[in-house]
Chain A
Amino acid sequence: MTNNLQIPPGMGLNVTAYINSSNPVYSVGGIIAFAIIVAIIISIFGYVFGWLERKMIAKVQHRHGPTYVGKFGILQNFADLVKLLAKEDIIPDSAERTLYIIGMPLLVSVSIFLVLLLPFAPSLQATNFAFGILIIFVILSFTPILLFITAFSTSNKFADISAQRSVLILLSYELPMILAVAAVGIAAHGYNIASIIDAQSSGIFAIFMPLGLVVLFITMLAELERPPFDLREADSELIAGWLTDMSAPYYALSLFLDYSRMLLGSLLITILFFGGWEGPLLPPIVWLLAKASIISIFIIIIRATTVRMRIDSILKFGWKWLLPLSLINLVIAYIIFA
């Protein structure tokens, strides 16, 4: 038994090799190690960007942002988390109890599951499906439905309206988003994530398909429901939208959900258009996370500069601009790569 657990030659820190190993002990160990590493990445990313968003938005707005708790207020989010978790968990009488309780944890686990499907480096990936990217986008499309159910379970009118909006804007961005991904599929001759990244070793797709990048970035903002598409949480109209009747622990989870989805979105953009972990000198995972962080910063900065779009104008925008643009992009991708 002890013999079996020794690190075999050539595998070193390569988690992928462990997971794909024929020895079940290595395989399970590799999966657990991968899950722990990804959990740490998500937590750190969520925490840092939760703080960074507050700080950056504050800078734009000529404020200081959090300053008191820890150096530069870095512990402010931790203090908030403790506060939220210490609060009473109130479930409204009129709420659909079971759905209310499982809804938010389910949403969070789905978004974490999607991050787990992504590769972080050649030596750090758990799955390698032939249609990996499609699987991710299909599951991603289910999240608004889950969200709708969760919001509906609170039996709050504001949450109802917000849930309806959430599903409505799904109609406008889902098609252009899939078409933008399809263009990448054409360019990479497949939907395998690793092969998409490999195909960009000679030049990232953002150069060849800038239209596709624009479409994917905008639709990703809509998918993540970040401003200007934050109709779900339209706080000046719907108080807190779908979170109006969510008690504190669920609210904390929803914040975690937002940032884990932001990580997912920026990782997907990085992989599809910025060559994933491709880059000189630094290790692949550093490149991947650095690129994803820059995209996340862009996503955050947009919040400080725009107002919320109206539901009908989002639909119009989706069908009038995003869909034709994504079709043109598809044609361009076909001409260049096929």
Chain B
Amino acid sequence: MAVTRINIGPVHPSTHGVLRLVADIDGDTVVDVQPHIGFLHRGVEKLVETRMFMQNPPYMEKLDYVSPMSYDEAYVAAVEAAMGVEVKERAQYIRVILLELQRIASHLLWIGTMCNDIGQMFTAFMWGFQDRDMVLNLLEEAAGGRMFYVNMRIGGMVRDLPPDFTDHALALMDYMEKRVREYERYLERNPVFMERMKGVGVLSYDDAKNLGVTGPVLRASGVNFDARKNKTYYVYQKLHFSTQVQMAGDNLARYKVRMMEIRESIRLIREGIKALPDGDALGMPVKLILPAAKNRISIVSRELPRGECIMYLVADAQKPYRLSIRSPSFINLAALNFLAKGQRTADMFGIMGTLDLVMGCVDK
């Protein structure tokens, strides 16, 4: 049969934003697929050079609109490293709690979009969004915004946690634990779902390393790497959690890694709230002129919900001279061609779903 070239996107139900794929399809088999990116390119890396350090977090958050606080924190951490500022202990705990909440919110949305990608399962989509909304409510309590928070200051937070936040968070974690079990019952007992996931889009240990994929995609291929453990930061080494690794490397493994990560995040949040020390959590004021940055170059590695993000910051006194972001979605998108070749057309979208792409993060 002749090879058909089809254009998918940039406006398409399962490209999650503005990804454009040009796919060559032979019958129902994908011969080749080329991602075309840049539809959401805003030049953030250049933009931050024109602004002072603490004017930039709002731009950073828009990189990944699914888990904005993670990017916010990664950037602020890079600035902190440049200035040589130590984060207050209570602020460290608060950051860990909020980041793990953000991870849960991101993974919940991923469950929904992935189920939608592999085939019109809007039920999981709606459930995922509903539960994500509860997490967002909690983050709104803490930060004042639902989508964009701008909640980090150098050395601490904008504001301390509200007084009843911990109670709400613990109650939500109990609920979330129940819901995760429910998702697993609902999805893993569905033979059609399992058939679409199991053995599809296998990424072997070596290929995963060679392609340089990060985050859950990497761990699903058996590579035990988590920036929270291997390049530990804040109080992660004091808290107990395990890196989730699956050996299979297929869609199902990527799904399982993320489901287990939600569980680990719940564990981290509970432990973090228990160990939350008293004291001051506020950071330096936003209109920051001094101290000037001490270190010319600072490199910070953070485990975002999508994978490892590396912020490479070359600092002037009050401004970034150059900021380079190694964004996890961009790296993972590069694996799409490798994974989708030779697969069925329908599976190409499933694989794309399990890579968990956010186009804001890809295009920067």
Residues of chain A at the chain B interface (Cβ within 8 Å):
57, 60-63, 157-158, 160-161, 164-165, 227-228, 230-231, 234-237, 239, 303-313
B334 at interface by CB-CB < 8 Å: no
Residue among B116, B120, B127 with the highest chain A CB neighbour number at 10 A: B120
B223 at interface by CB-CB < 8 Å: no
Contact: A161 with B4, CB < 8 Å? yes
Whole-angstrom distance between the Cβ of B7 and the nearest chain A Cβ: 8
How many angstroms between the C-alpha atoms of A6 and B42 in the bound complex?
81
Contact: B14 with A236, CB < 8 Å? yes
Summarize B's interface: helix, strand, loop or mixed. helix
Nearest chain B residue, comparing its CB with the CB of A304: B123
Return chain A residues, CB-CB under 8 Å to B125. 61
18 contacts between A and B (CB under 8 A): A57-B122, A57-B123, A60-B123, A62-B126, A157-B4, A158-B6, A160-B4, A161-B6, A165-B28, A227-B119, A228-B192, A236-B118, A236-B119, A236-B349, A237-B345, A305-B123, A309-B196, A313-B195
Return chain B residues, CB-CB under 8 Å to A62. 126-127, 130
B193 at interface by CB-CB < 8 Å: yes
Contact: B192 with A306, CB < 8 Å? yes
B250 at interface by CB-CB < 8 Å: no
How many angstroms between the C-alpha atoms of A68 and B207 in the bound complex?
53
Return chain B residues, CB-CB under 8 Å to A61. 122-123, 125-127
Return chain B residues, CB-CB under 8 Å to A164. 27-28
Whole-angstrom distance between the Cβ of A327 and the nearest chain B Cβ: 22
Total residue contacts A-B, CB cutoff 8 A: 89
Nearest chain A residue, comparing its CB with the CB of B193: A307
Return chain A residues, CB-CB under 8 Å to B118. 236, 307-308
- Tally of B interface residues using CB under 8 Å: 31
Nearest chain A residue, comparing its CB with the CB of B6: A157
Return chain A residues, CB-CB under 8 Å to B116. 236
Contact: A234 with B120, CB < 8 Å? yes
Residue among B12, B118, B123, B196 with the highest chain A CB neighbour number at 10 A: B123
How many angstroms between the C-alpha atoms of A305 and B4 in the bound complex?
33
Residues of chain B at the chain A interface (Cβ within 8 Å):
4, 6, 12-14, 25, 27-28, 115-123, 125-127, 130, 190, 192-193, 195-196, 344-347, 349
Nearest chain B residue, comparing its CB with the CB of A160: B4
Return chain B residues, CB-CB under 8 Å to A60. 123
Contact: A307 with B192, CB < 8 Å? yes
Contact check: which of B127, B130, B346 meets A310 at CB < 8 Å?
B346
How many angstroms between the C-alpha atoms of A62 and B190 in the bound complex?
20
Nearest chain B residue, comparing its CB with the CB of A310: B346
Known: A306-B193, A307-B196, A309-B192. A239 touches B13 (CB 8 A): yes
Q: Can you list the 6 inter-chain pairs with the closest CB atoms, starting with the nearest? A: A308-B119, A61-B126, A307-B119, A236-B14, A307-B121, A304-B123
How many angstroms between the C-alpha atoms of A312 and B347 in the bound complex?
11
Return chain A residues, CB-CB under 8 Å to B345. 161, 237
Return chain A residues, CB-CB under 8 Å to B196. 307-310
Return chain B residues, CB-CB under 8 Å to A230. 120
Return chain B residues, CB-CB under 8 Å to A158. 6
Contact: B13 with A312, CB < 8 Å? no
Whole-angstrom distance between the Cβ of B286 and the nearest chain A Cβ: 40
How many angstroms between the C-alpha atoms of A311 and B116 in the bound complex?
17
Return chain B residues, CB-CB under 8 Å to A312. 28, 344
How many angstroms between the C-alpha atoms of A231 and B119 in the bound complex?
9
How many angstroms between the C-alpha atoms of A57 and B116 in the bound complex?
15
Contact: B120 with A308, CB < 8 Å? yes
Whole-angstrom distance between the Cβ of A335 and the nearest chain B Cβ: 30
Contact: A227 with B120, CB < 8 Å? yes
Nearest chain A residue, comparing its CB with the CB of B130: A62
Whole-angstrom distance between the Cβ of B316 and the nearest chain A Cβ: 46
How many angstroms between the C-alpha atoms of A201 and B181 in the bound complex?
47
Return chain A residues, CB-CB under 8 Å to B193. 306-307
Whole-angstrom distance between the Cβ of B173 and the nearest chain A Cβ: 20
Contact check: which of B130, B190, B195, B346 meets A305 at CB < 8 Å?
B190
How many angstroms between the C-alpha atoms of A1 and B362 in the bound complex?
82
Contact: A311 with B28, CB < 8 Å? yes
Whole-angstrom distance between the Cβ of A5 and the nearest chain B Cβ: 54
How many angstroms between the C-alpha atoms of A174 and B38 in the bound complex?
46
How many angstroms between the C-alpha atoms of A230 and B118 in the bound complex?
12
How many angstroms between the C-alpha atoms of A308 and B13 in the bound complex?
15
Contacts A61-B126, A161-B6 aside, 13 further interface pairs with beta carbons under 8 A come to A61-B123, A158-B6, A161-B4, A164-B27, A164-B28, A227-B120, A234-B120, A235-B13, A236-B14, A237-B346, A308-B196, A308-B346, A311-B28
How many angstroms between the C-alpha atoms of A63 and B126 in the bound complex?
8
Whole-angstrom distance between the Cβ of B131 and the nearest chain A Cβ: 10
Contact: B28 with A234, CB < 8 Å? no
Contact: A237 with B126, CB < 8 Å? no
Return chain B residues, CB-CB under 8 Å to A308. 118-120, 192, 196, 346
Contact: A237 with B14, CB < 8 Å? yes
How many angstroms between the C-alpha atoms of A301 and B27 in the bound complex?
32
Return chain A residues, CB-CB under 8 Å to B122. 57, 61, 304
Return chain B residues, CB-CB under 8 Å to A305. 123, 190
Return chain B residues, CB-CB under 8 Å to A235. 13, 120
Nearest chain A residue, comparing its CB with the CB of B131: A62
Return chain A residues, CB-CB under 8 Å to B14. 236-237
Whole-angstrom distance between the Cβ of B127 and the nearest chain A Cβ: 7
